[in-house]
Structure 1
Amino acid sequence: MNRGINVKTSDFDFDLPEELIAQVPLTDRSASRLLVLDALSGTLSDQHFPSVLDELEAGDALVLNNTRVLPARLHGVKDTGAHMEVLLLTNTTGDQWETLVKPAKRAKVGTVLSFGDGVLKAVVKEVLDHGGRIIEFQYDGIFLETLESLGEMPLPPYIKERLDDADRYQTVYAKENGSAAAPTAGLHFTEDLMKQAEAKGVKIVYLTLHVGLGTFRPVSADDLDSHEMHSEFYDLSEESAQTLRDVRAAGKKIVAVGTTSIRTLETIGTKFDGDIQADSGWTNIFISPGYTFKVVDAFITNFHLPKSTLVMLVSAFAGRENVLHAYHHAIKERYRFFSFGDAMFVKK
């Protein structure tokens, strides 16, 4: 973000009726609605998601985050028999993970936790400043296979309904294990819709950013300069980088699917002075009004939490007044919000 822009967190607040928070996914992924926002004129158009193809031209790049959500919520017990819940956030090194543990006060350094009648065990190694815990797992065999058998999908706290099919919280192109939450803008795509895009001459490009739960939290500080973003791991291959360079050289659009794809591309664009290079690492980029976009020409995104960094990111691209106007329109027209909700296509 550009420092010196006088923007407050409260500038991104709005009243959202609770009944508009989508609790379950639609039967057909692509049946969701699509609100098209032209950032230059501020005009809005009510569509359905397959109309996204009308916004794409032959030679454009559609950039997708192929991260896969881990079944990262574990239920276990201490040696006292007390129930404990562990949410995996980031694999820090080896078998050690940054986690959130409930109840945290019972998870002191040295505490031993057991899951699945001892199939998986863990020891609390460190208490972090923000209240999280570094824990080290002990197991036989392959950790991810053990996690798949014992873990639950970590749905956001605003979703109260049980998810019958865990695959509905994965994109159809999910591949790289590592996320604590889904890149939800991609949930609208079906394999058929992607084939239609390719048949139109759109180039499908993949990158990886492992989504952390901090992405979705509202900003607590009212002064945006005081907000520190969490870090997330990203990777862009040379093949993908070359395709994006070719698309740009041909004068076509780079269209990001979701704020995670935006943050990855803009991290790389910032690092390489606007160029697109293969790269991997950790990013804590915070995009808010005053930021100049270096790579992304248009994007698809869901409707986000009030006062969240995601609303700020969309506003950095399209303007706060345009975005809040679009959100008020979406509320009036009863669009569905958040992870299982409807989508926006934002362009200039």
Structure 2
Amino acid sequence: MSTTPLQPLTAPATVTSWYEASARTRTRLLLDPGSFVEFIGPEKREVSPHLKVFDLPEQFDDGIVVGCGSLGGAKVLIAAQEGRFMGGAFGEVHGAKLTGLLRGARDIGSMPVLILFDTGGVRLQEANAGELAIAEIMRAVIEARCAGVKVVGLIGGRSGCYGGGGLIAACCSSLAVSEQGRIAVSGPEVIETNRGTEEFDSRDRALVWRTMGGKHRRLLGAADAFVDDTVQAFRDAALALLGEAGGFGLEILTKEQARLEARLRDFGTCADALDIWSAMGISHADAVSSLPADEFITLADAFGRISHDAR
């Protein structure tokens, strides 16, 4: 029998794993103590109208928690996806809650938004509604940013940030990611199904993590900060990014285009993340994946690309 002590339910943010925590635990520990106020809470029972048709269980919050609170004493709006419910996938109600939060931020104009991504993409059972929700959310992010609102994404959950979630993340002002925070539009299994194992072997865990994982995204400049897998580390990163995130306009888009052109020029012939890391000038590129968080952060500060708000 294991003698490892169980982690108490009231474990502090400094030792609580972001990857293992639920959406509600992440929200509670990320924000200032006792400050979170939930919108459309469990008592409202706003569940998906579609899942019963497929004889699938519903969840009282439809897999996303939205509300407001404070972070470092400043008011913020927050949305946290629950990756344990249908992989955090977007459905009609799930998407509407996030869209409404972002539109509220746009209208207020002075409260930043934190989005705690943990999603595999759109629910197949709500495909049309889910795809429409993604489009509405992306538009709402851009409208909020045009109104001067900072939108910061935090990525490090079990389901990663795939499909439409990856597209929404690319629209954010800035992103913080842990090693577990995979980001991609198409997941490993989707690529393998459509292109075969020769293109991408989804069972090759090392390949998946070095291609889509947080370390690679940080080095490419697709994430602005890399953090260890604790709620406290994400809290510290959120505070820093809210202080650094800039505005949004033509200048940002121009820089994004230039950075993407540079990425294609510099790494377009590379077949693997290892090749990219070597091309960046990183010696012993094969050791990057095994570096602990503090050592990798030092490496990323030296070699990582500057995002200029581009993903």
TM value normalised by structure 1: 0.29
Question: In proportion to residue count, which structure has more strand?
Answer: 1
Q: Which has the higher contact order (CA 8 A, sep 6+)?
A: 1
TM value normalised by structure 2: 0.32
Question: In proportion to residue count, which structure has more helix?
Answer: 2
